Amino acid sequence: MSGSIKAVIRGLGAFIPPNVLTNFDLEKMVDTTDEWILTRTGIRERHIAEKGQKASDLGAEAAREALSNAGLSAADLDLIIVATITPDMFFPSTACNIQNKLGAKCGAFDLAAACSGFPYALSVAEGFICSGMYKNILVVGSEVLSGFIDWKDRSTCVLFGDGAGAAVVCGEKNGERGILASLMGSDGSQADVLKIPGGGSAFPTSEETLKSGLHTLKMQGSDVFKIAVRTMDVAVRDVLQKSGYTLADIDCLIPHQANMRILQAVSERLELPPEKVFINVDRYGNMSSASTVVALYEAVKHGRVKKGDLVVLVAFGGGLTWAATAIRW
């Protein structure tokens, strides 16, 4: 980004619903085992929202913590962007519902980029801030995936969890810290490998779509696996090149948390030692657009990301989409 304004993450927050669903619980629901889930995915447990708990409920909780950590109030916000593929409803947007819950008075919109949602939204926020249009932007990633999973399909129901994270992104002049570079990518020709096909204008909800289960998530897991590894590897290299750094400069990689084997394969390709790669997929499963922001929140909280560090976020998801952000913390 040109100019002297940098987009800086000034405060982070997270909200994970307390209800835990372990692999052993899943053993009682579908034909699976803790051993299969652990060895194939690295996931031990995930959290599930309460009945009636919406993406805006989780997102607003995370946002309140992020605002408090940033030392700002809702009145200071110029814009709210919510990354989600499990919105409260088609419209009003989940962002409008969060705006109302916080009592903010600003523009608000949702952004759908599946698991790449948080770095996508961060990139959009960076654009608004560096253009000088806005100063303080709330970026939220919030998902209640449990409402969109086929709980009889063992190949998907073991993978996902609910949660939300939020970041308050502010413009700072002439500083060292902040977003150094970001990138967004997509390949709509591969849309079929990961999707929720029903309920939109392609297949409006009907008795037939419900019977066929079109309202639940469908995934061609092994295809997604291979593309994820390849794409995240390239995205990290590209965003580093854009920011003028190399792989050796990375202090902490915050990858989208979908599967431990994907994270290991990406780390190996990038030749990053395990201590430089943040992992929490074992405790939350894949929370789609909430994954990277919750991982960043925890990495900062537990001292894995410190002032001055070079942090790289990278994500990959349905669309297909991918995104990466290089940040001087």
321 is a site residue for ligand UT7 (CB under 6 A) = no
Contact status, residue 102 vs residue 146, Cβ threshold 8 Å: no
What's at 105, amino acid-wise? K
Q: How far is the CB of 141 from ligand UT7 (least distance, A)?
A: 13
- Decide whether 225 or 329 has the Cβ nearer to ligand UT7: 225
**C-alpha to C-alpha distance for 19 and 123, rounded to whole angstroms:** 32
Q: Which position among 47, 96, 130, 256 bears the catalytic label?
A: 256
- Closest C-alpha among 136, 160, 163 to residue 148: 160
- Decide whether 87 or 255 has the Cβ nearer to ligand UT7: 255
Helix (H) or strand (E) segment spanning residue 10: strand 5-15
**C-alpha to C-alpha distance for 314 and 232, rounded to whole angstroms:** 6
- Decide whether 59 or 319 has the Cβ nearer to ligand UT7: 319
Q: How far is the CB of 278 from ligand UT7 (least distance, A)?
A: 16
Binding part of the chain for ligand UT7, among 12-20, 50-58, 221-229, 269-277 by CB under 6 A, reads 221-229
Catalytic site residue 286?
Answer: yes
**C-alpha to C-alpha distance for 226 and 261, rounded to whole angstroms:** 11
Binding part of the chain for ligand UT7, among 11-19, 44-52, 222-230, 306-314 by CB under 6 A, reads 222-230
Cis preceding linkage at 320, omega within 30: yes
Which burial class, exposed, middle or buried, applies to 320 when counting CB atoms under 10 A from its CB (0-12, 13-18, 19+)? buried
DSSP, res 193 = G
- Closest C-alpha among 142, 184, 189 to residue 161: 142
CB atoms within 10 A of CB 45: 19
Residue list 256-275, contact with ligand UT7 (CB under 6 A): 256, 258-259, 262
Binding part of the chain for ligand UT7, among 9-17, 30-38, 59-67, 196-204 by CB under 6 A, reads 30-38
231 is a site residue for ligand UT7 (CB under 6 A) = no
Q: Which sign, positive or negative, has the C-alpha torsion 26, 32, 38, 43?
A: negative
Catalytic site residue 96?
Answer: no
Contact status, residue 249 vs residue 286, Cβ threshold 8 Å: no
- Closest C-alpha among 138, 131, 123 to residue 170: 138
Residue list 152-171, contact with ligand UT7 (CB under 6 A): 154-155, 158
Map residues 109-148 to x or -, x wherever contact with ligand UT7 holds by CB under 6 A.
Answer: ------x---------------------------------
Q: How far is the CB of 114 from ligand UT7 (least distance, A)?
A: 7
Q: Which position among 96, 106, 115, 157 bears the catalytic label?
A: 115
**C-alpha to C-alpha distance for 197 and 223, rounded to whole angstroms:** 18
Helix (H) or strand (E) segment spanning residue 222: helix 221-243
Catalytic site residue 256?
Answer: yes
Map residues 42-81 to x or -, x wherever contact with ligand UT7 holds by CB under 6 A.
Answer: ----------------------------------------
Binding part of the chain for ligand UT7, among 29-37, 48-56, 75-83, 141-149 by CB under 6 A, reads 29-37
Residue nearest to ligand UT7 (CB): 221
Active site residues: 115, 256, 286
Using CB under 6 A as the criterion, which residues of the chain lie in contact with ligand UT7 when the complex forms?
Answer: 32, 36-37, 40-41, 115, 154-155, 158, 194, 221-222, 224-225, 228, 256, 258-259, 262, 286, 316-317
